[in-house]
A = this chain, B = another copy of it.
Amino acid sequence: MSFPSSSVGLVKPFPVRFETPLALTCGQDFGPYELMVETYGELNADKSNAILVCHALNASHHVAGFYEGTPANMGWWDNMIGPGKPVDTQRFFVIGVNNLGSCFGSTGPRTVNPATGQPYGASFPVVTVEDWVNAQARLADYFGIERFAAVMGGSLGGMQALEWSLRYPKRVANCAVIASTPKLSAQNIAFNDVARQAIVTDPDFHGGDYYSHGVVPRRGLRLARMVGHITYLSGDDMSEKFGRALRTGEYKFDYGVDFEVESYLRYQGDKFADYFDANTYLLITKALDYFDPARHTQGNLTLALKPVEAKFLMVSFSTDWRFAPERTREMVQALLKNQRDVVYAEIDAPHGHDAFLLADERYHNVVRAYFERVAAEVGA
């Protein structure tokens, strides 16, 4: 079999079923449920070399490699995870998991509720980062993993990694929190609410039960993605990529496409509306909004992070205005005040929030060096 050099190559996702309901933050006991999973590399004999990768808003368990028949559909962090890559699958056993409520195979709003024979739709509970971490801990149990060598993620994935260190301090040796934040700002929440309002006011939303109407709220999803996408890129990066370039070289004096940037954003919106579930978009943005570990310590993040035992890698990117470097520095400061072990890198990169997904050499070198230490710790 041939596959791209240093990719994990052909992979195959599989569902893991949990019969016992999960107690959710909202008060509901939810289950049975399934989580869709992928793994790369081999779990060692003492099960000490496992790494859990947590995904962000629109990603999934498909972290690395590709599927039979669709070689172009590479995992979202394939540049980071694979043989010889910064997170080396020759040394680590890496787990990708699709979160509860997502739309890539795990139980979510699109799943048929066995109690009704209809998709959960609007009745699917609003889940939280805490709920996801609890669900992931059960997945660790399923694999017989007592303690992860590392839990890692970017953006919303970074929030899950941080929450792991809080909720299961004994079960995570290292946390890699990349391009993340200890809580959303009012502006972050505002952008999320624009996206949600675009979806719920789309007449095809039908109060969340659009499945039974044979439609999806495409207009709303498309707008949600357009506004989200703007916040993932830096202003300078957009200027560099698109500037004021015109599609046809001249103004058209109508409301079609004039500028390349319009064409790009609409295309991204259309593509997203083709595959993403609107109810999932709602609940994941809500999980983002709700995340705030210092909520129960009167906003005191240092106090909130006191239970943490893991060592940390934190990375931020200079032009990320969604979750700016200042936000990561708050976490670094709070951990240092708790005498925790933190490696922090602020990468000067032009690509805004999306930089965490890109193969920037300095960024990857920082991650590589950190995971070499992790490998040494666990004898991998």
B-binding residues in A (CB < 8 A): 25-27, 125-126, 183-187, 189-191, 193-194, 196-198, 200-203, 219, 222-223, 226-227, 230, 233, 235, 238-239, 241-244, 251, 253-255, 258-259, 261-262, 265-266, 269, 282, 286, 289-290, 292, 321
Q: How far is the CA of A183 from the CA of B251 in the complex (A)?
A: 14
Which single member of B190, B202, B238 contacts A187 (CB below 8 Å)? B238
**Chain B residues with Cβ under 8 A from A200's Cβ?**
255
Given A185-B238, A190-B226, 8 more A-B residue pairs with CB atoms under 8 Å apart are: A126-B253, A126-B255, A193-B266, A194-B226, A198-B198, A255-B282, A255-B286, A259-B289
Known contacts A244-B184, A262-B190, A223 near B198 by CB under 8 Å: yes
Distance, CA A38 to CA B197, complexed state (A): 37
A292 contact from B219, B244, B262, Cβ within 8 A = B244
CB A320 to nearest CB in B, in angstroms, measures 13
Taken together as a complex, chains A and B put the C-alpha atoms of A66 and B191 apart, in Å, by 34
Give chain B residues whose Cβ lies under 8 Å from the Cβ of A269: 197
CB distance from A319 to the nearest CB of B (A): 12
State the copy count for this chain. 2
B residues near A201, Cβ cutoff 8 Å: 219, 222-223
**Please, how many angstroms separate the alpha-carbon atoms of A125 and B262 in the complex?**
20
- Report the separation of the CA atoms of residues A284 and B40 in the bound assembly, to the nearest whole angstrom: 53
Interchain nearest-CB distance for A124 vs B (Å) = 11
Chain B minimum-CB-distance residue to A262: B193
Compute how far the CA of A230 lies from the CA of B190 in the bound complex, rounded to whole angstroms: 7
Whether the pair B186, A244 counts as a contact (CB closer than 8 A) is yes
Name which residue of chain B comes closest to A185, CB basis.
B239
Considering the complex of A and B, which 3 residue pairs feature the smallest CB-CB distances, nearest first? A26-B253, A186-B238, A186-B242
Are B230 and A194 in contact (CB-based, < 8 A)?
Answer: yes
The reply to whether B258 and A289 form a contact with Cβ atoms under 8 Å apart is yes
Q: Do B290 and A186 touch (CB < 8 A)?
A: no
How many whole Å from A301's CB to the nearest CB in chain B? 13
Q: How far is the CB of A259 from chain B (nearest CB, A)?
A: 5
A235 (CB) vs chain B CBs: closest residue: B187
CB of A26, distance to nearest CB on chain B (Å): 4
The interface centre, meaning the residue of A187, A194, A198, A201 with most chain B CB atoms within 10 A of its CB, is A194
